[in-house]
Amino acid sequence: MDPATPIQEEMMLFHDHALVLLIGIFMFVVILGINLVFNKFSSRTMLEAQQLETIWTIIPALLLIWLALPSLRLLYLLDEQPSDGLVLKSTAHQWYWSYELPFNNSSFDSYMVPLSDLDNGFFRLLEVDNRVTVPFDVNTSIITTSADVLHAFAIPSMGLKMDAVPGRLNSMNMFINFPGVYYGQCSEICGANHSFMPIVVESIFFGGRF
């Protein structure tokens, strides 16, 4: 999916960053292996090589640092919670979601639309009767919990995946770059109808201040 938030953009950049490193290591090992297969020289009399040991210890350490630094940066970005913006509370149930929007004092339940009631052009097993509507280009803190068993609030295009745990609150920030409709699902096996509790967030332009 195309990224809809800065966090998901950073995740995709980190994926590409890590993939470059992995492909480079793979190609190096393949070339080295082919060279060893066709090499006719023998080094059976060489007992130790301190310089070689030092090199193949330092280079992997530097590669791990090159991988770890952007990873740590991304982890800190995921935990960042701005003080301004909106709050959206999401409560998981077997098997639907309840939402509360304090900025307009509204609360509602969101159920999956059955296949028999689905209109043409809508996605099977992903459409709901009540979408969550939030403004784009505004920080939105999503707080999630569960009323019964373990669930998980996940929207891939926004880089969101939070456990919904009974008796606990988890939160993540969402800053949507573009208007549109974004789909997600519960990502924790929560019972017989686990695959029938989708999440739909609609991002639109809101005039005025919150």
Query: 29-79, pLDDT tens digit by residue?
Result: 999 889 888 887 766 666 677 888 888 899 999 999 999 999 999 888 888
- State residue 78's pLDDT score: 85
Higher pLDDT, 189 or 118: 189
C-beta separation of 190 from 95 below 8 A: yes
Show the domains of the chain with their CATH numbers: 6-79 (1.10.287.90), 86-204 (2.60.40.420)
Strand ranges (E), the chain? 86-93, 96-101, 106-110, 132-135, 139-146, 151-155, 160-164, 170-175, 180-186, 198-204
| Spatial distance between the Cα atoms of 83 and 77, rounded to a whole number of angstroms | 14
Apex 34 CA angle, 31 and 36, nearest 5: 110
pTM: 0.77
| Spatial distance between the Cα atoms of 158 and 63, rounded to a whole number of angstroms | 29
pLDDT tens string 186-205: 999 988 989 899 999 998 88
- pLDDT(15) > 70: yes
